[in-house]
Amino acid sequence: MHFKSKKTFLILALILCCLSAYSQADIVQQSWDLERSNNYNESYEKFRIAVEQYPDSSRAWKGKADMELAAFHDSDNALLDYTHAIALKPKAVWAFFGRGQIKYGRKNYAEAIDDFSKAIELKSDYGEFYNLRGICKSRQKDHYGAIKDITEAINLQPASAVLYYNRAIEYKWIAKNSLAIDDCNKAIELKPGYREATEMKEKLEHPVAGKTNNTNHNYAPAINTISTEEPMLKAKVESSLVVAGQQFLVDFTFNNSKGINFTPPSFEGFDFIGPEQSSSANYINGTYSETVTYSYFLTPKTTGTFTLEPATIQLGDRTISSNTVTIPVVKATAKNIHIVDSIRKVYNLPAQITKQGENDTKDTASVHTLIAHPEAPSDSVKQNLFLKVIPDKTTVYEGEQIVLNAKIFTRFNIETLQFKKFRESKNFTFSNIRMPDGQLQTSKDSINHKAFKTASIILKSIYPKRSGSLKIDADTAIFILDKPLVSKNFFEQFFGASYKRYSYYIISDRPTLQVNPLPPTYKSFSGLVGHFKVNVSLEEDIVKPGDSVHLKVTLIGNGNLKVLTSIPYQFSDTIKPLPPTFSDSTYETEDGLVLSNRTFHYVLIPQERGTWAVPAASINYFDPYKKNYAELAIPGFSLNVVNAAKN
């Protein structure tokens, strides 16, 4: 094609750009319109098409993330999509806000604060940014910081009863009860019949006999509105067509975290692994909801058309049933694989493994897309890429810490590695230690005369809940690989092999542990198993009556400190403690030990003048190295309460 002048070419180019921009804006606008009508599934499909056609559109990625939460409660993919939107547009304020909400729901408060702070930096006139950042600060025990943020939110939204109620909670934390009552009154004035605010006010004005009205609360901060959607259990299969021998994922998601007694279908015709249970909290368009998901990996035993009958879950006196799911399973012939590939392309499903000998160029699929849609490995892949879990010991006591390493064996070049989130199970609790970041440090190993590259990663510590012969829960990792393709093209052979990029989910082996029961004890047992030390610090030991004092008790050791919920101090009536809060961490020391700590934070409020002693306490724990019980001494302390002003 020839143009008579550069001017003609530029005009045509400009017209094409305008048409492209219009098409992008049009499809995104249609998606927003569907969202506003609460048609979340159709809106999600529009946004999915938008990011496929316009992969550089931050608005499209952000909208897709919103709908993943609203339609499917899929916070994992939503988190990736918000991050993608931010990478494309570093000033994407609502993507920061959405990502912060997910991190808040996952109790990752420090990172949530970072995202809300960025949203405030970009848009400082929106009160909910300050409110959520304030709630996160409260979760980190920074109640003064929380009050400052929620006050800023009130200045921006003075008609919000929720904000006054939230600030009342924070005033109550720091024993400013008169200010808390004032805020409760304001919340009730703005929202007559506000139950939570009314209950808090009554308890502050009329404390229970024998209890100080400074005793803290179990009130939860309000985030606009609480979800009132109808309880729904939804079954979702990752593939619309399955090839015999191919493993695939089935999720059952319930949109109410208070469900109990989940019962899956029989999975007749399938081998399965599961469930893996996960939960998430979502905040979408002013509505807060909590969901729970039960995930199963299924492998068909034979070909045919199978129906998964409804799963059920209990909510109060109701039984909620899921939808049924039909799964066609076809024979793994070359023709059928071609048919499956065609169907997958139509429905935007992950591609099957390309047959050796096909001439293909390097796959340019994004890491995000590959991580979001891994496929089951073929037998040839399993022989050249596998994951072993290696415990630091295999004979332990009930409740004793076991440190798990994941060892990767591969004959491929690994581009990216991502482990699935760990889950609690009926046999084990766990603590994360660290996840792999950056380049893996590899070494060489040989299995059956085949050379492998290996990499070891300390993943987590687990604690058996019961005795007996227990299999460790399988871990799942997603690998992105570049695999060479054989080409008949002379020039490709001469200048180098062509590659295609794949993502696979690999499930580890399941080593067996022998878990011994604990011997009987005649003392009150704390539940701690391991070896521990303790440190006690008092903010100040000379105070006035009614002042608050911060007491901090930190325990550190190689055991599951999460089982300990309080310190057995005996406080006199002259010192009123508020219920303790605590913070946790698990880490690896320089010499390779894995330690946990739990810090208890007490607020003490002395009532009368005098010198008051809090006697030492002790905790009974089991030491697996000595194979008997031991006492952990908790030092006592004294508090001098004076009438004069503090010096």
Give per-residue pLDDT as tens, 580-605: 887 888 877 776 788 888 999 888 88
pLDDT tens string 174-209: 888 889 999 999 999 998 888 888 989 988 888 754
pLDDT for 332: 60
Q: Could you tell me if 211 and 167 lie in one domain?
A: yes
Contact 535, 526 (CB under 8 A): no
Q: Could you tell me if 37 and 150 lie in one domain?
A: yes
Q: Is 47 exposed, middle or buried (0-12, 13-18, 19+ CB in 10 A)?
A: buried
Q: Could you tell me if 195 and 234 lie in one domain?
A: no
Tokens matching residue 331 = 């024979």
Q: Could you tell me if 34 and 138 lie in one domain?
A: yes
Tell me, yes or no, whether 337 lies in a domain: yes
Q: Which residues pair with 611 in a beta bridge?
A: 640
Tokens matching residue 564 = 């300990």
Contact 575, 604 (CB under 8 A): yes
Tell me, yes or no, whether 10 lies in a domain: no
Tell me, yes or no, whether 289 lies in a domain: yes
Q: How many residues does the chain have?
A: 647
Number of domains in the chain: 4
Q: Could you tell me if 435 and 489 lie in one domain?
A: yes
CATH of the domain at 597: 2.60.40
Tell me, yes or no, whether 338 lies in a domain: yes
Torsional class of 141: left (φ above 0), alpha (ψ -120 to 50), beta (otherwise): left
CA 636/CA 123 separation, integer angstroms: 49
Position of tokens 């089982």?
Answer: 563
Sheet holding 413-419, edge to edge: 413-419, 476-485, 498-507
Tell me, yes or no, whether 362 lies in a domain: no
How many CB atoms are closer than 10 A to CB 470? 22
CA 14/CA 20 separation, integer angstroms: 10
Q: Could you tell me if 478 and 407 lie in one domain?
A: yes
Q: Could you tell me if 130 and 250 lie in one domain?
A: no
Q: Could you tell me if 178 and 267 lie in one domain?
A: no
Q: Which of 483, 517, 551 is the last residue of a domain?
A: 517
Q: Could you tell me if 278 and 406 lie in one domain?
A: no
Q: Could you tell me if 335 and 246 lie in one domain?
A: yes
Q: What is the pTM of this model?
A: 0.44
Tell me, yes or no, whether 527 lies in a domain: no
Query: What is the DSSP code string of 541-594?
Result: SEE-TT--EEEEEEEEESB-GGG---------TTEEEPPPEEEEEEEE-TTS-E
Tell me, yes or no, whether 86 lies in a domain: yes
Q: Which residues pair with 461 in a beta bridge?
A: 403, 431
φ/ψ of 205, rounded to 5, equals -80, -25
Q: Which of 491, 517, 543 is the last residue of a domain?
A: 517
Q: Which of 487, 517, 547 is the last residue of a domain?
A: 517
Q: Could you tell me if 213 and 240 lie in one domain?
A: no
Q: Could you tell me if 50 and 195 lie in one domain?
A: yes
Q: Which is nearest to 619 in space by CA: 534, 549, 544? A: 534
H or E, element range at 29? helix 6-36
pLDDT for 528: 94
CATH of the domain at 194: 1.25.40.10
Range of the domain at 425: 368-517
pLDDT means over runs of 10, the chain (647 residues): 47 43 50 52 78 81 82 76 86 90 85 93 90 91 91 91 92 89 92 88 74 53 56 78 73 81 87 71 54 81 87 86 85 50 38 33 51 74 86 92 87 74 76 64 75 79 90 80 57 50 81 92 88 89 83 91 89 83 79 84 86 90 92 91 63
CATH of the domain at 341: 2.60.40.10
Helices (H), 73-108: 75-88, 93-105
